Amino acid sequence: MAELPEEFTTRLQSIIPAEKYESVINAFTGRRQLTVRINTLKNSIEEARKELEEMGIAVEQVEWMPEAFIVPVESKSQLSSSPAFNEGRIYIQAFASMLAAYVLEPEPGETVLDLAAAPGGKTLHIAAKMQNEGKLSAVEAVKGRFFKLKANLDTYGATMVRTFLMDGRAVGKKCPEMFDRILLDAPCSSEARIIAGNPKSWEHWSERKVKEAARKQKGLISSAWHSLKPGGRLVYCTCSFAPEENELAVQKLIKKFGDQVLIEDIQIPMENIQQGITEWGGKQLHPDLSKAVRVLPNEMMDGFFMISLRKEI
Ligand code: SAM
């Protein structure tokens, strides 16, 4: 069994179904397939395929997400020093991370917000889906990360994006009911980044950190909700397994806004998905929280949590 902090595995055991637990634990290796997203703002998928194949890199396209290519792990250093990478035609992006824009489904011409945006992997994906048409605002609170976000937007040609260095918790009051779609990829305890046998990877993790993250997420999700137009969609995601940072964040939102919060189904054609949980700490949660998805880690992707909410008109 992989070496992981006991406090963490004890919690995980009550989150992950028994029949999946061992494979999940064994997936905390940190070793994943390498995935790149083709930046369709700078080249077509076919052009990118040709460029990579001319570099001698074999690509496997994800059928249901054509902009995603699986490439050999050994090609990472070649890729990251290539003109395709340096000139922003491809973005090396973890596959789970690509699922957020897939679920958000932004359309050209819409008004969209990315509320916790740096370094911008998901903002860039959203801009590409919107074909740089419409309004896309990206908010980031940490200065150094904000400048990294700006640099990435520049390199990848996401000219439609307006950036804001500010606390996302203030956006709701400033911009009420403004956005058709909002992505909140919330700062979290980053449990999915824990690597078995590597204590450095969990030195910042504790149950207290989970609770701290949950407090901030509560403020951010409520701000996002204020900024969402009636009829609009909010996708909330984290790279944590903890119900306090996931289902409970939405449970609190429902407590505050009641029937205005509708939980939508999420369709992703993958097997490593677990429904949201509807009971935690001896308390029953809203039954529709089962429509959330917990992406379980495997050889292709990290763990991830996503839920899609619609604001009642
Ligand atoms: N979506 C990003 C991407 O795909 O590249 C990753 C976002 S990361 C999970 C969360 C981000 O939220 C971090 O960059 C963090 O600095 C930022 N953050 C933390 N507190 C924030 C706040 N109060 N308001 C806005 N952003 C915040």
Query: Which is more confidently placed, 236 or 31?
Result: 236
Beta-carbon contacts of residue 200 (< 8 Å; ≥ 6 apart): none
Alpha carbon 157 to its chain centroid, in Å, reads 21
pLDDT tens profile 239-298: 999 999 999 999 999 999 999 999 999 999 999 999 999 999 999 999 999 999 999 999
- pLDDT, mean of residues 88-96: 98
- Please give the average per-residue pLDDT across 57-61, as a whole number: 97
Question: What is the rounded average pLDDT for all residues in the chain?
Answer: 97
How far, in Å, CA of 200 to CA of 70, rounded? 28
Q: Which of 143, 169, 185 to mutate to test the pocket of ligand 1 (most atoms within 8 A of CB)?
A: 185
Residue 30: pLDDT band with limits 50, 70, 90: confident
pLDDT tens per residue, range 108-145? 999 999 999 999 999 999 999 999 999 999 999 999 99
- pLDDT tier at 313, thresholds 50, 70, 90: confident
Distance CA 149, CA 155 (A): 10
- Cβ–ligand 1 distance for 117 under 6 Å, the answer yes
Q: What's the longest Cα–Cα distance across the chain?
A: 57
Segments of the chain assigned to CATH 3.30.70.1170: 33-92
Query: Does residue 167 line the site of ligand 1, with CB under 6 A?
Result: yes
pLDDT band at 2 (very low <50, low <70, confident <90, very high): low
Which residue from 35, 142, 165 has its CB within 8 A of the most atoms of ligand 1, so it is best to mutate? 142
Residue range(s) in the chain whose domain bears CATH number 3.40.50.150: 96-311
Lowest pLDDT segment from 25-29, 37-41, 125-129:
25-29
- Count of helices and strands (H, E) across the chain: 11, 15
Nearest atom of ligand 1 to the alpha carbon of 119: 5
- At 138-163, the pLDDT tens digits run 999 999 999 999 999 999 999 999 99
Is the minimum distance from the CB of 2 to ligand 1 under 6 angstroms?
no
For 68, the 3-state DSSP assignment is strand
- Is the torsion defined by CA of 166, 172, 174, 180 positive or negative? positive
Task: Provide mean pLDDT across the span 1-15.
Answer: 89
pLDDT score for 242: 98
What pLDDT score does 57 carry? 97
Which atom of ligand 1 sits closest to the CA of residue 93? 4
Contact 70, 34 (CB under 8 A): yes
3-class secondary structure per residue, 166-191: CCHHHHHHHCCCCEEEEEEECCCCCH
What distance in angstroms lies between residue 118's CA and the mean position of ligand 1's atoms? 6
Helix (H) or strand (E) holding 41: none
Mark residue 173 as left, alpha or beta (left: phi above 0; alpha: psi -120 to 50; beta: remaining).
alpha
Whether 1 has a pLDDT exceeding 70, the answer reads no
Residue type (1 letter), 138: A
DSSP 199: G
Span from the CA of 146 to the centroid of ligand 1 (angstroms): 9
What is 96-311's CATH superfamily? Vaccinia Virus protein VP39 (3.40.50.150)
C-alpha triplet 29, 32, 38: angle, nearest 5°: 155
Predicted confidence (pLDDT) per residue in 187-214, tens digit? 999 999 999 999 999 999 999 999 999 9
Residue nearest to atom 17 of ligand 1 (CA): 116
- The response to whether residue 116 sits with its C-beta less than 6 Å from ligand 1 reads yes
Beta strands in the chain (DSSP E): 34-38, 60-62, 65-71, 90-92, 111-114, 135-140, 161-165, 179-185, 228-238, 261-263, 273-275, 279-280, 283-284, 293-295, 304-311
Overall fold of domain 33-92: Alpha-Beta Plaits (3.30.70)
User: From atom 21 of ligand 1, which residue's Cα is the shortest distance away?
Assistant: 141
Closest C-alpha residue for ligand 1 atom 8: 187
Instruction: Find the catalytic residue in 175, 188, 237, 239.
Output: 239
135 lines ligand 1 (CB under 6 A): no
**What are φ and ψ of residue 297, in 5° steps?**
-65, 145
Contacts (Cβ under 8 Å, ≥6 apart) of 88: 39, 42, 155, 156, 157
Q: What are 66's strand-pairing partners?
A: none
Catalytic residue list contains 237: no
